[in-house]
Structure 1
């Protein structure tokens, strides 16, 4: 059985200077690339997801209207398909990425499992076709798309592990609650700089 790394929404609009930029976002992207350079060979598949919203319309209410965003279910315009804000942050080394997933095309979508690959395949089918049973999750934002992706992975029967030092959230309290929720649902969390040889819950030695 195989193991995958899921890099969630490491995009310009979610880092400093973007439409929904998070302070510290660039540093997380740099740490993810450093982690890939050390550990990419331990993964059978590396997947990266992106918000990829339609330029026309409100994407099913995801983009706020005249009343403004509530920052829970409606948001400022961000990650519009084909714009610089929707592109991966330049600090992410894309040479390690095997599969790209786009989500939120005309409708709200937080989880990478709601998106499709460049060939139109669902992510869960990609994992099952590759016999992936374990997925490590990193990226942006802990309290939104990382949370949703990790939970959907758990609910799909995958052994999910979120690296706490390779994610960053919008709100610290909500981010901690999101990690608690992942653990409560049967996922695991921890740091990428674990002691040499320490067992990752579910199997693989780090």
Structure 2
């Protein structure tokens, strides 16, 4: 979902190269980007306004996070809020999520978050879905042996597609929930909501969630 253009965001993003990488080329030395380089690394592909990734960084100071966003306006909103909180364990990458394996080294990421991704419902747009096989291959390249994907959406069609796509890729499911907010388990207790999740759940939409990992060859 595209945000309205925020002219101030461009200037803010460009003024903080220590916090934001703008469409970089090649692998990034992420250890040099964080105050504590030895912590586990987790990424969110398509962070929107950043509520989820910011709350994750606040809740888990012993983990480093990277918010990946294609829109400059969205990256600017994340940066604005991050600067207020002075989070040393959160970086922002302004770039395309389909290129994650060009930004991160092999087996360097602990977890990939996919939250309320654009469903791209038309068949001709299948390759743009963040759980399409080409995206899965990119995540597989950067995830550690015990790393995994956590995915949430309110879109049943995208959820069903993602189940099939991951199954066809021979991934293993660790957790599947068809109504996250009306469940009572450890995952629900630890759930951090996104902006869209709060909005959709208030409207009575079920939230679908899954955790899955790759079978390393």
User: Normalized against structure 1, the TM-score is what?
Assistant: 0.44
User: Normalized against structure 2, the TM-score is what?
Assistant: 0.42
Going by fraction, where is helix more abundant, 1 or 2?
Answer: 2
